[in-house]
Amino acid sequence: MCWLRASNLLLVGLGGLGAEVCKNIVLAGIKAITLMDSECVTRDDSSSQFLAAREDIGKNRATASVQRAQNLNPNVVVSSDEGNVCDKPEDFFKQFDIVCVTCCSVQTMMHVNQICHEAGIKFFAGDIYGFYGFSFTDLNEHSYVEEKPKKVKGSSATDSESKKLKADPTETVFVKKTKTFHRLKECFDKDWSTLTEKQLKRSPYVFFILRVLFKFHDEFGRKPKAESLENDGTELERLHNEVFTELGLKTDLIDSNYTQYCTGELGPTCAIVGGIMGQEIIKAASGRDAPLDNFFLYDGVDSLGMVDCIIRS
C-alpha cells in the first residue's frame, strides 16, 4: 500500500482527459507527477486542455503543461518527459507507484498494463471519444480499508434479541479488505457469445461502442474527426458490423447512431471521466475505500455513467 503524499505518478497523454486527471491529482497533494507526451499542442487542444496556453501551439504538450500544473500546488513536484511511452524500457516504469495512460491506442494501453501488472504497479487507463469516455483500473492485488458503523449488542430485554448485533451510527471501525484485479487484455478477450440475450441486455453497451472506436483508432491511426464525420461515420458503420460479428453479437444489439457523437475531446466529458479517474487514483494511493472494479463507462448523450466488472474474479 502506498500513501498519496508519498506516491510518484506517471501520467501519459496530456489531452483534455489528461489535463483533468493532472489537475485533480496535483490539487489532492501527491508527492510527484511526471507528465509524458510526445505530441505538440494544437489548436484543437484549446477546447479542453486548459494546462497549455494558446501561445504554446507547436510546443511539446507535456512541457507546456508543467507551469500551470505546478501553480496549482507548489508542494507537488511536477516534471515532464517528451518521450514516447512505447519506447520506454520496462525498468523505466518501476520508479513510479502509479501509472495512468490516456490518449493512447489499445495496444499501447495493454503493453503498459502488462508491464505494470507484472511489476505490481497500480495502473489506470482512459480516453474520450466525443460524448463517450471510459476509465479502466488494474490495481493487481490491492488491500484497502473501509470505515463502517461498529456492531454492538442490542439493549433489548429479551435474551434472543440482546444477542443480535446492531449498527451503532455514533461509532465506526475500519475493516481491511483485499481485491484482485484483471488486466485490460483479459477484458478484451472475454467471450460474449456465450451470454444469453437477457444477460447481454444487462451488459454495458458503452463497452461495445468503445470496441468499435478502438478499432477505428487502430485502423486509421487516429480518432474520428468532426471535419470528416461524413466519411468517418461510414467507416464506423462498417466497423460496427465487423466488431459485433467478431464478438458474436447481433449487429442490431445497440443502435449505431452513436457514430454521430464520438468526435473531439468534449470538456464536460473530460471533466466527468477525469473526475472519476482522479478519485480512483487518490483512493488507490491512500488505501481508503473500495475501488471501482474495473471499468467506469460514460455516455454523455444520455448522461449515464456506469461501473461494470467485465472480468470477475
DSSP, residue by residue, 116-143: HHHHT-EEEEEEEEBTEEEEEEE-SEEE
Helix (H, G, I), strand (E, B) or coil at 189: coil
CB atoms within 10 A of CB 61: 27
pLDDT of the residue at 297: 97
Q: Is there a contact between 211 and 243 (Cβ–Cβ < 8 Å)? A: yes
Backbone angles phi, psi at 129, to 5 degrees: -130, 85
pLDDT per position as a tens digit, 95-131: 999 999 999 999 999 999 999 999 999 999 999 999 9
When pLDDT is cut at 50, 70 and 90, the band that residue 198 belongs to is confident
Average pLDDT over residues 8-37: 97
pLDDT of the residue at 159: 54
State pTM to two decimals. Answer: 0.91
Q: Residue 298 belongs to what H/E stretch?
A: strand 295-299
pLDDT per position as a tens digit, 246-289: 999 999 999 999 999 999 999 999 999 999 999 999 999 999 89
Domain boundaries, the chain: 4-140+266-308, 142-178, 192-260
CA distances from 283 to 219, 225, 277, 289 (A): 36, 34, 10, 6
> Which residue intervals of 145-202 are DSSP H helices?
159-162, 184-188, 197-201
The CATH architecture assigned to 4-140+266-308 reads 3-Layer(aba) Sandwich (3.40)
